[in-house]
Amino acid sequence: MESASPTPTLGFKRIKGVALAVANALRARHFYGETLGLSPAMEDGVQVGCLLGDTILMFKEDWYGKPTDAPNPRVTLEVENARETERALRHHGVTISDPVERYGGALVGAFLDSEGNKLWFCSAA
């Protein structure tokens, strides 16, 4: 009797990048780099976006997608303390679209980036 081949694994590891539609890449680089303090993400010597941990937030100018405050799929950023993050974002003049609220064991809020994209953030309550 022939042994069955093992089922191959899909090999998923993590989210490498999230593409964000932008109307102005320079403005987006300033917002994510200067306002939010993220490091540049480089590919072949060109800045393609900013790094959030190991994930690239890629800025897509002249793309099929347009900036939106009603994204699908939704991107949620994990933060240390959602209430502190909301205060810090407000301090930097960032528009809070959805103030932090408690949902079960999580605190969740959202803000708009420089291009009008909504990004959610959450922490444990």
pLDDT of residue 12: 77
pLDDT at 1: 59
Asked whether 112 and 67 are in contact (CB, 8 A), the reply is no
51: in domain: yes
CATH number where 86 lies:
3.10.180.10
Sequence-ordered strand ranges (E) for 23-113: 39-43, 46-52, 55-61, 76-78, 95-103, 106-112
**What is the total count of domains within the chain?**
1
Q: In which residue ranges of the chain is pLDDT below 50?
A: none
Residue 43: the pLDDT is 87
Which residues form the domain of 108? 17-124
Supply the pTM of this predicted model.
0.80
Beta bridge partners of 43: 46
Residue 4, in any domain of the structure: no
pLDDT value of residue 11: 79
Would you say residue 82 lies in a domain? yes
- Asked, for residue 45, whether it belongs to a domain, the answer is yes
Model pLDDT, residue 74 = 85
